[in-house]
Structure 1
């Protein structure tokens, strides 16, 4: 069946440049898309000094923000500078304290340094959100509180460093690529790298290269962003939500779909399940995409005690069966 891109949840892989906030980019799309998509939102904030992949959801996709944001790993390229600490962890603020890393590490071969850092940081990683971050405390962003003079140190939470590679080491600069679980702050990671090596440091450059399979190479650059009065090619630039997050699929018969959309739960043993080879790239196995017999996308279900339970359903799907 033909896909009407004006009627399905879509995600735009947008390249955010240095300077604007994530909200600025979302607002640009909201004003200039030219379609009545209703609400619009993004999947994971990028700081103004950072650039790279910013996923924007429309037509219901934004409702699954927590799933896309939490489940897909993120890859960053960063350039850090050893020798000084700033309040923000980057050079948007002044260096407030100076301390070089130890001399032995300044002269360490790049391969040896990569091995040392990988051994220490790869795998389970406990981290506190940076005081100048979008993490919330008492309903407010930490950076908002920090600007007011309240520097909040939240408790450490478990994250995961999936991969770490050094691209260039020319002291005092270290350029590296790191793949992390959601919620990991690369500024904080580099500060902890600097401390481990006996000194201080801050980020000079931060680029989010990928969220899952959504890479910066394929992202919509600013010159191709929607412009008012010009039709934006949804099929070219938009990705259906169920292709952004690779999950196992459940196909329902018309009778099953009608009852499912009314809240009925079905044991997995009664359903047609299509396993996806890339499911392992997602950090959970307990959610699945739901389709009807014609592979019309209906929504998302969570698996509980061997049964599927509706989490998100398209209003179009409800109208189709009820």
Structure 2
């Protein structure tokens, strides 16, 4: 529309110039220009309206397709946005998921573990993904705070000691954004501490490796390739996936493979390694805190480019384990320990 406005202004200047010459033909040409401009505007508005309607229809269709499955009962989930919580708060920040059951069994389970470990703190929730917050609110009526809303709520509640524990896997771009946003509120509290992501120290990596191997040992029969799907990132922190793979291989878990949805190693890279091993079956599991959209669609979906479809097309018998890392007790213990280190740092 701005381009149209500029175009009309240009026509007006031209019309004024002709009028200044004082001839009758100039007046006629001016009227014709104005008429043309009006028609152009009408046509542009009509096109814009048609485009808007088309886009709205497409978005509605996509949303309808997206909701063609049941994600669970949102009413069973605790959004942890209550007020009047006292002076000490433990804010758990997650990317989030619109899959209700997975949200409760993963993020909710981590929050509950932290609540048991720190009875002197009120545990509250915040999500970094506003698109998920908006979707859950629109579909289920559940209100989840974003980071700013959660911090503003803490200020409003008179919180003096704020401990923040993100559920991020790595110290990547999103974790750094969270740290920066919290820094803007540092003067609003007497004490502030931020816990580390899941995969920070060498000990963290070793314990996560042991946790996922123990979790899948029933499928480790020598004929099955056990493949974990991470999210992936363009940042340097993507190296955590290669590090986990190196640990697994070095410790003799040569039938365990790690790949990503949006970075490297890709599903094609993982498939090539599985083909080299001569396996008969494949187990797929997300290397993510939640089993949300990526796990249900990119990993276990029926589209031809899903991990399941890619492996099935190669003749493998595929089993998908739709569970997030937050369901694993050992993983939750790690988050508790990271939060404990943050609490200890401000005593």
Q: Same fold (TM over 0.5)?
A: no
Higher relative contact order (CA 8 A, sep 6+): 1
Under a length normalisation based on structure 2, what TM-score does the superposition of the two structures give?
0.25
Higher strand share: 1
TM-score by length of 1: 0.26
Q: Which has the larger radius of gyration?
A: 2
Instruction: Considering fraction of residues, name the structure with more helix.
Output: 2
